[in-house]
Amino acid sequence: MIYTPLTKKALRLCFEAHKDQTDKTGIPYVFHPFHLAEQMTDEISTVCALLHDVVEDTDYTLEALSDMGFPAEVTEVLALLTHDPSVPYFDYVKALSVNLIAKQVKLADLAHNSDLSRMDEIDEWAIARTEKYQKAIAMLS
């Protein structure tokens, strides 16, 4: 993990935003963005990995993050990583591919979400989701 004042601010916000959430197997959700952040190589990508689901999965907005002092470079990436449900999934993936940091974070996200060993039960839904994510990985690779 890269520790700077900005990444520490993102760590605290990530924890606060996701502290009451769990993943599909009951594990605290916050471990997912922490896992992604561990793979990043610089301050901005680390911050984006930590915050990649904050706007999509909590009540925080991009404007609120900006007001908290997160720079435009971060909020622009987070805007790309936040999937608007009215946009078809693969159109969303294609749109975020124009930004190298968004692409790097999304690839890490897709890889982690495709890891079936995280699942307690591998059912048809899990297999279909993994196939969708593998197609997204191919688009971004």
Q: Which residue has the tokens 């900005």?
A: 6
Q: Whole-angstrom Cα distance, residue 73 to residue 95?
A: 17
Per annotation, catalytic residue among 56, 63, 91, 123 = 56
In total, the chain counts a number of residues equal to 141
Q: Residue 3, SS3?
A: coil
Q: Which residue has the tokens 């435009």?
A: 72
Per annotation, catalytic residue among 16, 42, 57, 123 = 57
Handedness of CA 63, 69, 72, 73 (dihedral sign): negative
What does the DSSP assignment read for 106-127?
A: HHHHHHHHT-GGG-SS--HHHH
Does the active-site annotation cover 57? yes
Does the active-site annotation cover 73? no
DSSP H stretches of helix in 19-98: 31-38, 43-51, 54-57, 62-67, 72-81, 89-96
Q: Write out the catalytic residue numbers.
A: 56-57
